[in-house]
């Protein structure tokens, strides 16, 4: 395997499928299957999942809800998604642990770095919920932070397109896809990969980011085996 340990970043919207909000059980089952295939290859998998399919603090702020309160609501939304994903994985007999940045011992372990690493070493998929536990930080930043802390080899960001383009390929048929971009190019060209904090943290720790299409079956497994899939952000 090219990568021994990965951090998979999933958006909450990815769980909606064709729905306007909420969680599609068929999408959960599909993601669980893709993760299972990677796990069977011996790759250690950590997952950070967003909550945009349920609630976003930024949108709440626009509607008059205090930003800090809204962000806390969004963090709880990520835990709902994490529990759903954990259940889907366990239905495939994949051992998992859910750790949250906000303590809620009745349903999840508190995030403890050493414990998370030990779970990974034992072959368990570790899902990180509640973002960083702090308002004003996105789950992109949480993914970069957790990936750095658990010493992941790469952040793999799942999207609806097969990489990074110079413009939105869903709106522009002539959009050009990049094979590789630097962290600086992401910022200079304002490419919509991850937020500024996540990109900066990844660059400071020489942590590559690969953006790929999660809906392309088998691509996650091909990616961890070293095949050219998606777009790589690196030095």
Q: Where are the domains of the chain?
A: 5-234
5-234 has CATH 3.20.20.70 classification? no
Instruction: Scan for tokens 């919920």, then name that residue.
Output: 129
Q: What is the pLDDT of residue 201?
A: 96
SS3 content of the chain, % helix, strand, coil (to 5): 40, 20, 40
| Residue-averaged pLDDT of the chain | 93
Cα separation, 4 vs 154, whole angstroms = 9
Q: What is the pLDDT of residue 73?
A: 92
Q: Which residues contact 4 (CB under 8 A, 6 or more apart)?
A: 43, 44, 153
Q: What is the pLDDT of residue 235?
A: 75
Torsion over CA of 199, 75, 54 and 138, rounded to 10 degrees? Answer: -10
pLDDT digits (tens, 9 = 90+) for 12-64: 988 988 888 899 999 999 999 999 999 999 999 999 999 999 987 677 667 78
Q: What is the pLDDT of residue 57?
A: 67
The mean per-residue pLDDT over the stretch 175-184 comes to 94
Helix (H) or strand (E) holding 96: strand 96-100
Q: What is the pLDDT of residue 61?
A: 65
Q: What is the pLDDT of residue 64?
A: 83
Cα separation, 161 vs 166, whole angstroms = 12
Q: What is the pLDDT of residue 1?
A: 81
pLDDT digits (tens, 9 = 90+) for 121-134: 999 999 999 999 99
Cα separation, 140 vs 132, whole angstroms = 10
pLDDT digits (tens, 9 = 90+) for 1-12: 899 999 999 999
Model confidence at 160, in pLDDT bands (50, 70, 90)?
confident
The share of the chain scoring above pLDDT 70, in percent, equals 98
pLDDT digits (tens, 9 = 90+) for 145-158: 999 999 999 999 99
Which of 107-133 are b and which e, b meaning 16 or more Cβ less than 10 Å from the residue's Cβ? ebbebeeeebbebbeeebbbbbbbbbb
pLDDT digits (tens, 9 = 90+) for 139-148: 999 999 999 9
Query: Phi and psi (nearest 5°) for 33?
Result: -65, -40
Q: How many CB atoms lie within 10 A of CB 176?
A: 10
Q: What is the pLDDT of residue 56?
A: 74
């Amino acid at each position: 395997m090219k990568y021994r340990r990965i951090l998979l970043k999933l958006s909450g919207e990815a769980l909606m499928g064709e729905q306007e909000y909420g969680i599609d059980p068929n999408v959960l089952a599909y993601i669980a299957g893709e993760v299972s295939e990677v796990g069977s290859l011996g790759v250690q998998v950590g997952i950070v999942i967003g909550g945009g399919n349920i609630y976003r603090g930024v949108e709440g702020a626009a509607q008059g809800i205090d930003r800090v309160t809204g962000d806390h609501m969004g963090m709880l939304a990520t835990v709902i998604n994490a529990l759903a994903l954990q259940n889907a994985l366990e239905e495939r007999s994949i051992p998992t642990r859910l750790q949250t940045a906000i303590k809620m011992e009745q349903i999840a372990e508190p995030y403890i770095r050493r414990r998370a690493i030990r779970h990974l070493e034992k072959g368990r998929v570790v899902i990180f919920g509640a973002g960083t536990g702090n308002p004003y930080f996105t789950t992109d930043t949480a993914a970069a932070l957790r990936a750095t802390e658990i010493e992941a080899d790469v952040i793999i960001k799942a999207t609806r397109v097969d990489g990074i383009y110079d413009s939105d390929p869903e709106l522009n048929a002539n959009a050009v896809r990049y094979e590789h971009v630097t962290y600086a190019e992401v910022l200079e060209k304002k490419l919509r990969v991850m937020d500024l904090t996540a990109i900066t943290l990844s660059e400071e720790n020489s942590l590559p980011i690969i953006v790929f299409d999660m809906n392309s079956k088998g691509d996650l497994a091909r990616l961890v085996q070293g095949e050219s899939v998606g777009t790589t952000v690196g030095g």
